[in-house]
Amino acid sequence: MPVHELTYLCLANATSVMLKAPDNQVAGHQARNGNLGPLIDDSGRFYKPLQGDERGSKEVAFYTSFSSNTKVPDHIARFFPKFHGTQLLEASDGSGMLPHLVLQDLTFGRVNPSIADIKIGAMTWAPQAPEDYIQKCMKKDRETTSLVFGFRLSGMQVFESKESGFWRPEGRRKIQTLSLDCMKLYLKKFVSSNTSKMSLDLKPDCAFASTVYGGSNGILSQLLELKAWFEDQTIYHFYSCSILMMFEKELALTGKNPRPEIRLVDFAHVYEGNGIIDHNFLGGLCSLIKFTSEILTTPEESYGDGLMTGDARTSHTYSENKNGRV
**Per-residue exposure over 206-234, b if at least 16 CB sit within 10 Å of its own CB, e if not:** bbbbebbbbeeebbbebbeebeeebeebe
pLDDT of res. 318: 44
* Residues 292 and 186 grouped into a single domain: yes
Q: Where are the alpha helices (DSSP H) in the chain?
A: 54-67, 74-77, 131-143, 145-149, 172-175, 180-189, 209-212, 219-230, 249-253, 279-297, 310-316
* pLDDT for residue 203: 79
Q: How far apart are CA 225 and CA 246, in angstroms?
A: 16
**What is the SS3 assignment for 113-132?**
EEEEEEEECCCCCCCCCCHH
Residue 166 pLDDT: 86
Q: Residue 202: left (phi > 0), alpha (psi -120 to 50), or beta?
A: beta
* CATH code (residue 293): 3.30.470.160
Q: Is the pLDDT of residue 324 over 60?
A: no
The residue range of the domain holding 142 is 113-316
In order of 9, 19, 21, 31, 90, the CA distances from 46 in angstroms are: 14, 9, 10, 12, 14
Residue 200 has pLDDT above 70, yes or no: no
Q: 126-148, pLDDT tens digit by residue?
A: 999 999 999 999 999 999 999 99
State residue 179 phi and psi, 5-degree precision: -75, 170
Q: Is the pLDDT of residue 311 over 70?
A: no
Whether residues 44 and 141 share a domain: the answer is: no
- Closest of 61, 89, 83, 94 to residue 236, by C-alpha: 61
Please indicate, yes or no, whether residues 295 and 175 belong to a single structural domain of this protein. yes
Q: Residue 66's closest CA among 38, 27, 104?
A: 104
**Same domain membership, residue 121 and residue 244:** yes
Residues 173 and 223 grouped into a single domain: yes
| DSSP H or E segment with residue 270 | strand 270-272
Same domain membership, residue 161 and residue 266: yes
> Residue 18: how many CB atoms within 10 A of its CB?
13
Q: For residues 172 and 178, what is the distance between their CA atoms, to the nearest angstrom?
A: 11
Calculate ∠ Cα 52-58-63, nearest 5°: 120
Taking CA atoms, 148 is separated from 144, 183, 194, in Å, by 8, 11, 29
pLDDT value of position 317:
43
Which residue among 70, 104, 138 closes a domain? 104
Q: What is the pLDDT of residues 251-305, one digit of tens each?
A: 998 989 999 999 999 999 999 999 999 999 999 999 999 999 999 988 776 444 4
The structure's pTM equals 0.86
Give the span between the Cα atoms of 26 and 169, in whole angstroms: 10
* Residue 117 domain flag: yes
The total of structural domains in the chain comes to: 2
Evaluate whether residue 178 is within a structural domain.
Answer: yes
Domain assignment present for 215: yes
Q: Is residue 288 domain-resident?
A: yes
Choice between 249 and 308, residue whose per-residue pLDDT is larger? 249
CA distances for 167 relative to 122, 158, 200, 247, 271, angstroms: 28, 5, 12, 15, 36
Q: What is the mean pLDDT of residues 16-20?
A: 79
In 7-96 the beta strands, taken as DSSP E runs, fall at 7-10, 16-19, 39-40, 45-49, 83-90
- Max Cα distance, the chain (Å): 59
